[in-house]
Amino acid sequence: MEFISKGFKVRLIPTEEQKIYFEKASGTARWVYNWALNRKLEEYYTNQNNISSYELSKELTVLKNTTHPWISEVAAIGSNVAIRDLDKAFINFYRGIAQEPKFKTKRKSKKSFYCSNIKFTKESKGVHIERLGVVQLGNDAKRKNFRYLTLNKKTILNPRVSYDGVYWYLSFSVEIPKQKVTLTQEVIGIDLGIKDTAICSNGITYKNINKGADIKKLEKRKKRLQRQVSRKYEMNKQGNKYVKTKNIIKLEKKILKLNRHISNIRKNYNHHISSEIVKTKPSMIVMENLNINGMMKNKHLAKAIQQQALFELLQMIKYKAEWQGTKFHQVSRNYKSTQTCSGCNHTQKMPLNKRVYECPKCKLKLDRDLNASYNLRNQGRLLLAQA
């Protein structure tokens, strides 16, 4: 039987004592990561070597028993996995695949740590975490996901506790049997854009949710709160230093909650789009290989592209397609899906202000994004014919 890995993220409701442990564990993991990175960089730039995670773990044990006994106040697995995570990142840098890993700062880095021996308890509908006992789950987890969490006592993979500035969460994955789905012969080409989020070759268009009244209202409210915070910082400025008062902390927490709310709306919309497309059960889905980082360099479009979360949507479509056996293909970045005529393959320049594709050769006239989705669909059909 074939299995797939399915991820879950559930909200935790820790007690004050458990919150203190979470802060300690995430702080320790960050400190260990930075200490290990410093050791690796020293060795790399001095001797052009890479210290293994095993050697670093041995050095860390010596630190625990001598100068840094506070590391032992939390479970050792969190520190060991922090070293392993760094080792993966540093190996990619050592091989020239990725950039040099950066140090994690206390202010900007996300609070998170690895935990082991996770067990969900049916009686109290909570989760048992090492050194803490049972931590209660949020109502959303009890209502929606709890039936999956206790399903046949599945092995929980890569459990991590994280903090988003408002709530604590537990994320993990579980291997579940892959369902057999009867697919159609349809090939769907999907063109992602800014005017509309997704334009499909089957004629369905998904509008840009960020242009809707709900998101605009929330964004306007966020701007007002940000201006309030900015004014209060200026009012309480002492010399060259800004003082953070209790009122500022309250406003910043409101902004965090509002950002979380807006982000959840966008993520939910992307889940809706990806699920609706995949549920048509096509044999293949074809999309572009977008250069998001390059697109973000355009200062006029950067904010709109960021709000769309196009890469997140692409990833959702990809893994959901693979779950049911639908083939997923991304065309080369050099492929001119927008500039090519879907009727006769004639190519011409298409500036952003030109929204309708008019072919001078075969007289085809249609929306530029729909034309691009037809071209992507044609590429998928060609691949299936060659297979």
Domain boundaries, the chain: 1-178, 187-386
Provide the phi-psi class of 203: left if phi over 0, else alpha when psi is between -120 and 50, else beta: left
Among 103, 130, 27, 131, which Cα is nearest to 71's? 27
Query: What is the average pLDDT across 12-38?
Result: 95
Judged against a pLDDT cut of 90, whether residue 49 lies above it is answered with: no
- Number of C-beta neighbours around residue 363 at 10 A: 10
What's the pTM? Answer: 0.85
Contact 358, 342 (CB under 8 A): no
User: What confidence category does residue 181 fall into, taking pLDDT thresholds of 50, 70 and 90?
Assistant: confident
pLDDT band (50, 70, 90) for residue 290: confident
Q: Give percent above pLDDT 70 in the chain.
A: 95
pLDDT (0 to 100) of residue 26:
96
What whole-number distance in Å separates Cα of residue 146 and Cα of residue 51? Answer: 42
According to DSSP, the residues that pair with 113 across neighbouring strands are 161
Determine whether domain 187-386 maps to CATH 3.30.420.
yes
**Dihedrals phi, psi of 163, to nearest 5 degrees:** -130, 130
Tokens of 111: 């609070």
Average pLDDT, the chain: 89
Facing residues of 156 across strands? Answer: 174
Distance linking the first and last C-alpha atoms of the chain: 25
Provide the H-helix boundaries in the chain.
16-47, 53-65, 76-94, 139-140, 146-149, 213-235, 246-278, 292-295, 302-308, 310-324, 368-386
Q: How far is CA 200 from CA 19, 85, 97, 191, 280, in A?
A: 46, 38, 34, 7, 12
Mean pLDDT across the stretch 323-330? 92
User: Tokens representing 207?
Assistant: 């509008």
Low-confidence winner among 17-21, 51-55, 142-146, 271-275 (lowest mean pLDDT): 142-146
Cα separation values, 128 from 16, 124, 125, 174, 297, Å: 16, 10, 10, 17, 45
54 three-state secondary structure:
helix
Instruction: Tell me which of 28-42, 97-111, 114-128, 289-303 is least confident.
Output: 114-128
**Residue that wins the pLDDT comparison between 365 and 387:** 365
Q: 20-30 in b/e burial notation, b at 16+ Cβ within 10 A?
A: ebbebbbebbb
Q: Which two tokens stand for residue 234?
A: 């200026």
pLDDT, position 48 = 82
